[in-house]
Structures are given as C-alpha cells and as structure tokens.
Amino acid sequence: MSRSLPAVAALLALIPAAGHASEARGKLAPPAANGCVEVSGTALTGMAGGPAYSAAELKCGTKLLLVLQRQTGRNGNLPVWSAIDQVTIAKPSPRHELLQPGYCSSTRFPEDSVFALGRMVEQPDGSYRSENVVKAWRVDIKRERMAAIPVDGLLCALDPAD
C-alpha cells in the first residue's frame, strides 16, 4: 500500500491541472447531462482576446463525459459556461484515468491542450510518466471541438517537484 500512496497523490495533483480550476467550476448553462456529477474542471488557454474555455470531466452513472465549455457570461463572481462539445469516455480498467492537459503534450499537436486516457506510473527518480495510454483528444479552440488524436508521440509527465 505504501507504493500506491504516492501514485494516488500524483493523480490527485492532476485534477486542477491548469491553475484556477475553481474558475472553471462556474455555472454550466445548459447542463451537459442530467444526473451527472462534475469530477474535475480545467481552465484552457483560448485565443487572445477571445472567450474563456474550460473542460469538465463528468461522471454519469458508469460513463464519463469530457465536456468542452465556452464562457458565455457571469453570474455575480462566477462564470457561466455553455457546453459546446463532448466526448464519452469508456475506461478499459479502473486504473485508467483521464490525464489532464497541464501534464500532457503531443508532438503532433504541440500547441493544443491534450487529454489522454491512461495510467501514471512512478519512475525510479520519483517522477511519474504515462503508461498504457489508450485514447487521447486535443482541444481545437478555433473550431470549438475536441478531436481524437493518435496516442503515439503523446507523453504525460509529473516531476517530483510538481
């Protein structure tokens, strides 16, 4: 169990991957799906001068949804989000997790935010690297959609200092 504790801590550190995750948890309008619970939220970098974007991971029964959102207004201090695209995620095993763009990059799409479905494994130096990545998506802000991408050339990493 002592070996799994650092892995759990590292995965928990991935949840608010791109700072200001609480900003990404404003009001969603309209709801992406009834009966869903938000697991995590990630602020995404958009185009300069354009609207703000975020992604939310929603648990809907046994399914997971990754929802791309655009900020469409404010409700007091909280942003109001509109869902503009979503993908349904099927985890091949309970150990697979949705790896956040703050730790993932793709050599094919170096400028885009990338989500991956895989596992983080502790390395001898205390860092964590992705393993068994089975699916990945990039956020295409210009087209306001998420697109599946090949997993080759993709790496998710967490250094011991992070």
Q: What is the pLDDT of residues 83-140, one digit of tens each?
A: 999 999 988 888 899 999 999 999 999 999 999 999 999 999 999 999 999 999 999 9
Residues 6+ apart with CB under 8 A from 134: 92, 96, 117, 118, 151
Query: Which domain does 149 fall in, by range?
Result: 4-158
Q: Which helix (H) or strand (E) holds 134?
A: strand 128-140
Tell me, what DSSP letter sits at residue 93?
S
Give SS3 for 109.
coil
For residue 47, what is the DSSP state? Answer: -
pLDDT digits (tens, 9 = 90+) for 45-77: 766 666 899 999 999 887 889 999 999 999 999
> Which run of H or of E encompasses 1?
none
Q: Are 72 and 54 in contact (CB under 8 A)?
A: no
| Residue-level pLDDT at 48 | 65
The amino acid at residue 144 is E
pTM (2 d.p.) = 0.74
Separation between Cα atoms, residue 152 and residue 108, nearest integer Å: 9
**In the chain, how many domains are there?**
1
d(CA 71, CA 59): 21
How far the first Cα of the chain sits from its last, in Å, is: 22
pLDDT of residue 79 exceeding 50, the answer is yes
CA dist 113 → 8, 62, 94 (Å): 23, 26, 24
